[in-house]
Structure 1
Amino acid sequence: MKTPSALPDPLSSTPFTWQEAARAGVSRRRLSHHSLASPSRAVRVPGSGADHSLADMARPLTQVTAFSAASHATAFLLWEFPGFLPGSNEPVIHISRPEPMAIPRRRGVVGHRGQFFDDEITIGADSAPETRLRLALGRAGLPTAEANVRTELSPGVERQPDLSFREWRVAVDYEGEGHSEPEQIVRDIEKQEDFARAGWILVRISKRHMTTDARTAVRKVRRALEHHGWSPI
């Protein structure tokens, strides 16, 4: 059997939509090859779905249906809430659309309608923990953070923190479990040194800082902002 052509990055390693594949120049014939799983129409998954995280599997499903977001038991797991929510162990993904739009109906999806709050939605927030952190900072009365903005720290040196307060030269990174890998530790040290040389403070947040409504995380970010001249009105 003929070996299929290689998919371009990042489609070779993460679930994607047909539209994303078309923009990358992938043919319809390649998308029909048996090496790609099809959990739902217009979505393709390289390898087995078990090889990918829930966030990776949910993302294309929110892309193929306009104005939709992961919700209910799926959001419960993505946001790492403590305890157990009925339905969290089911092999489906919950997707909601705002009223009065139609409920999403597709294989592998449980559709819902819900109320979306525009002031709590930011395009560019990469993950649920980062979004939880951003919202907690806002509730605490801190300045509005920008999500995933590339910043030139010095000639030829650019960094893209999870959140940034450019006016006060404070950056915030949420570090998940992958940051304990030796290679990642080296990269994280280099990143912190780049920010420090440019006169920035890089605040590093982990899961343990996010308990009790992220109070410890908020305290760390507040201290950094105040150190660089911010004060509440």
Structure 2
Amino acid sequence: MPSVDERRHGRERPSGMRRPAPLPPVLATRPFTVADAEHHGVTRARTRANDLGSPFRGVRTATVPDDLEALCHAYAARMPATQYFSHSTGALLWEIPLPRRLEAESLLHVSSAAGSQPPRIRGTVGHRGARDAVIVRHRGLSVASPCDAWCQTVRLLSLDEAIIAGDRLVGWPRPLVTLGDLDLAIAAFGARPGARRIASARTSIRERSASARESRLRLVTMRGGFPEAELNSAIALSSGRNTHGDLVYRRYKVLLEYDGEQHRLDGRQFATDVNRLNDLSEDAWIVIRVGKHMSEREVLARLERALSSRGWTR
């Protein structure tokens, strides 16, 4: 039975139909335009064969694009130099965490350079780019800079979603930008739609968050009235080893850790964690491990008990 993708792209081949001629090697492994195919001696009839996908008008693929990056490369085959991927599409290409409703969006957001017309191609959402837009090459694609993509997307996000996405820009251990870069981009963005939420989010963005879950945990503790923690801060242990913690309350020797699945499923990681926790215990650190099924109320209650036992008061 043909797959959903085969039906969607017209790939179901009637029984007895002759298999289409092989494509030239230069076209078999990448998206290509009909004009490019003709340049390499491929007939129009061959480009209409049902073994090829057509994700965008005038574009053909030998394989169905199965993720966002592959779909962007398919559109890039026909993309003029005046266009670039922007907004939520740009943010996702930079692996900035966005809510599922945006991750699941099937349309590509494409901006045009100032003075040129935005695209009006089925499968895309066209935007007029700003004159001061910063465009870079990323994974072989023309993409809005991480800061610009974040600014463009914020108006579609809740405040917490905007902060979590912003934390990734300056996250740990591989930040995409500096806080200075972000501030320059925000200033250039000016009073465009979303500017008010951008300003609100910026006050709560912090460096060195390692994941969206850590950022969310930080926001929960801050709004619970607790001191602000250091993020992924280094801790020197008396054993001679060094480690770091997700949320570190150094003054009180309390550590809040998000316990991901990899900590239990990876045997080597589990053994490392045991030694690390033993070292922290010997140095009188209180470690609170937070699992994905732990409620916010329980996290805050445990944190309050731990900090209060070390002299913290509200």
Instruction: Please report how far the alpha carbon of residue 191 of structure 1 lies from its aligned counterpart in structure 2 after TM superposition.
Output: 1.5
Residue among 265, 273, 276 paired with 1:188: 273
Q: Which residue of 2 aligns with 1:148?
A: 232
Q: Which residue of 2 aligns with 1:168?
A: 252
The alignment partner of 1:203 has SS state of strand
Residue among 88, 91, 102 paired with 2:104: 88
Q: Which residue of 2 aligns with 1:81?
A: none
Q: Which residue of 2 aligns with 1:204?
A: 289
* Distance in 1 of aligned mates of 2:298 and 2:109: 31
Identity of aligned residues (%): 27
Contact 1:58 1:93 in 2 (8 A): no
* Distance in 2 of aligned mates of 1:92 and 1:180: 37
Q: Which residue of 2 aligns with 1:132?
A: 216
Amino acid at match of 2:94: L
* Distance in 1 of aligned mates of 2:98 and 2:142: 15
* Distance in 2 of aligned mates of 1:202 and 1:149: 14
Which stretches in structure 1 are left out of the alignment for 5+ residues?
1-37, 42-56, 63-69, 78-84
* Distance in 1 of aligned mates of 2:308 and 2:131: 44
The alignment partner of 1:208 has SS state of coil
* Distance in 2 of aligned mates of 1:220 and 1:183: 28
The structure with the larger Rg is 2
> Per-residue CA shift, 1:57-96, capped at 9, x if unaligned?
968827xxxxxxx3xxx5114xxxxxxx2652649799xx
Question: Normalization by structure 2: what TM-score?
Answer: 0.42
Change (3 A) 1:109 1:202: same
> Per-residue CA shift, 1:82-123, capped at 9, x if unaligned?
xxx2652649799xxxx9974879748694253332232111
Contact 1:162 1:171 in 2 (8 A): yes
Q: Which residue of 1 aligns with 2:123?
A: none
Q: Which residue of 1 aligns with 2:51?
A: none
Which stretches in structure 2 are left out of the alignment for 5+ residues?
1-68, 74-89, 111-129, 155-196
Residue among 94, 97, 110 paired with 1:61: 94
Q: Which residue of 1 aligns with 2:127?
A: none
> Per-residue CA shift, 1:168-226, capped at 9, x if unaligned?
000111111111123322222211111110011111111112x4xx2222222222111
Question: Normalization by structure 1: what TM-score?
Answer: 0.56
Instruction: Please report how far the alpha carbon of residue 140 of structure 1 lies from its aligned counterpart in structure 2 after TM superposition.
Output: 0.1
Residue among 108, 119, 139 paired with 2:203: 119
Q: How many residues align?
A: 156
Contact 2:92 2:103 in 1 (8 A): no
Q: Which structure would you say has the larger RCO, counting Cα contacts within 8 Å and 6 or more residues apart?
A: 1
Instruction: Please report how far the alpha carbon of residue 164 of structure 1 lies from its aligned counterpart in structure 2 after TM superposition.
Output: 0.2
Contact 1:93 1:108 in 2 (8 A): no
